[in-house]
A and B are shown apart, each in its own frame.
Chain A
């Protein structure tokens, strides 16, 4: 903690008297726990590094292997591709669930019920088998003549089956997250927008959804990290280029499964770390305008002036009161 320089008067124009000097409360627990954790961490590191069974040289070799890096690429494409589709579908489903139209509500409910209620592995197997179940896809009049006919196998390749399978499943979970987010926005916001003459669709897009993002982003980040690992299930389709399959294929070929598992784990860990940084920035962006102790949410610093209440809140020592008043 820094204290204001005594020579400099504060914004109020008065000089702060010499701050109190006192010895801090002794905290021996911190030193003791720190020492114990340090010793334990050293033991774990030692056990990992010195154990020859882990074959760290092999790990290092395959960490940069071209097939492994390509696998990482496919894993990323599957993760972001399926999440992108899922987010769009989820917003649609969440809006449908809140719709006045009972048909829309029912359709969305059934979708969520089905895709949450069956295992993702089973769904992926079915998407892989779609060309067996429906060898031909056609566009045309329902139950009537066909206008365009496709061979299913050429349209829905293993990659698309994997992507669609992951996206449709994820959309069901995300829809519930989006619904919770929309529900978290004060109804007064939509009412004020309505009083200004805004249409419902615009109120959703301009007023409600941006504020709901504050609630939606953290669990969605969680879902993205979860999806990163779920992509390893696309072997059920079967799609065999992503990182888990790529590394285990190498592992069984070279009879070194353990180092290759470590390779995959390290890559997952690295990507997760990057995702967490991205999530942090997204949360900060969507938290703008909502005071959270000055740690996040402002695009610009508080301007000088009678922001006394804001300064008090920024100190994080008082409970935040949205209706707190300030006398300018």
Chain B
């Protein structure tokens, strides 16, 4: 059985500023019993504020699942995830007993974490502008006027000020993904998660999305990116994590991990990708 203990939160008041993401001993099993699929097998991940972490790995290695655990889209089986010092999904009382949080509380936690999906998932019945305005108005309770001004700024930032009235079906994949990034940014997130943001795009459209992400990283956003774009990892990442079979195999600065890989599995992976 998997250890059900929750590790302690990063001690408050220590010298180093608390990391935005502190994942400790994260396990994820899909299904139950002997037939369960053990996708994450004890993953630790620390993402300091203002840094970009790129997660690499072959398909099925659990990298997308890990990302989805960082904003509660998947409930973890064991371990703990702290975002901005706050335990995700649970409350620990004075006796150390865990209580599952109410869905409303979990929704509030998620509202501070932006997520960009491989398949964009823009709301199909809303224009680009309405997509970006939706959460600030519905979740934060912003006035439509304020939300609109902010949404126009964000769409301008991702280079789409001339597409605000378009429905997703009238936009290219690259444009849709940039709207999706603006939509996530509209909630002023502490952390942005990217789940293979360019994998569903035609090759010539990848660049425009990566450029927006690079710009975002330069502005100091804390980002965790699951991708196959080694070039992006080399250029933008502060930290590269290589996962295989549900564990972190190797991690470190991109120069070390990508150019001087020590693990044979990583060497093999890079030989296939590069």
Contact = CB atoms under 8 A, between A and B. Distances in A.
B107 A300 contact: no
A289 B125 contact: yes
Contact of A195 (B113, B165, B175, B204): B113
Contacts of A310: 170
Contacts of B113: 195
Contacts of A286: 125
A196 B183 contact: yes
Interface stretch (A27-35, A54-62, A220-228, A301-309): A301-309
A195 B73 contact: yes
Contact of B111 (A192, A197, A210, A309): A197
A327 B115 contact: no
A323 interface: yes
Interface string A308-328: 011000000000001101111
Q: Which of B113, B134, B162, B165 has the most CB of A within 10 A?
A: B134
Interface string B113-124: 111010101111
B124 A290 contact: yes
B104 A199 contact: yes
Contact of A206 (B114, B134, B187): B134
Interface residues of A, number: 37
B53 interface: no
B174 A325 contact: yes
B94 to A, nearest CB: 28
Nearest to A213: B125
A291 interface: yes
Interface in B116-172: 117, 119, 121-127, 134-135, 138-139, 162, 165-170, 172
B73 A194 contact: yes
B173 A323 contact: yes
Q: Which of A202, A310, A325, A326 has the most CB of B within 10 A?
A: A325
Nearest to A325: B202
A303 B115 CA distance: 30
Contacts of B175: 328
A278 to B, nearest CB: 20
A207 interface: yes
Given A325-B205, A326-B172, A328-B175, A197 B119 contact: no
B123 A325 contact: no
Q: Which of A199, A207, A289, A327 has the most CB of B within 10 A?
A: A289
Nearest to A202: B138
Nearest to B72: A194
Contacts of B114: 195
Interface residues of B, number: 46
A288 interface: yes
Q: Which of B71, B138, B173 has the most CB of A within 10 A?
A: B138
A288 B127 CA distance: 10
A314 B202 CA distance: 22
A195 B71 contact: yes
B2 interface: no
A322 B175 CA distance: 14
Interface string A178-206: 00000000101101111111111010001
A325 to B, nearest CB: 4
Nearest to B208: A328
Q: Which of A196, A211, A288, A291 has the most CB of B within 10 A?
A: A196
Interface of B: 71, 73, 103-104, 107-115, 117, 119, 121-127, 134-135, 138-139, 162, 165-170, 172-175, 180, 183-184, 187, 200-202, 204-205
Chain A to chain B: the 8 pairs with minimum beta-carbon distance, closest first: A197-B111, A289-B167, A192-B121, A195-B115, A196-B135, A188-B121, A325-B202, A326-B172
Interface of A: 186, 188-189, 191-200, 202, 206-207, 210-211, 286, 288-291, 298, 300, 302-303, 305, 307, 309-310, 322-323, 325-328
Given A193-B134, A196-B134, A199-B107, 8 more contacts: A191-B121, A193-B135, A197-B110, A210-B125, A288-B167, A289-B168, A307-B170, A327-B205
20 contacts: A186-B121, A192-B117, A192-B122, A192-B123, A193-B123, A195-B114, A195-B184, A197-B112, A198-B107, A200-B103, A202-B139, A210-B125, A211-B124, A286-B125, A289-B169, A310-B170, A323-B173, A325-B201, A325-B202, A328-B175
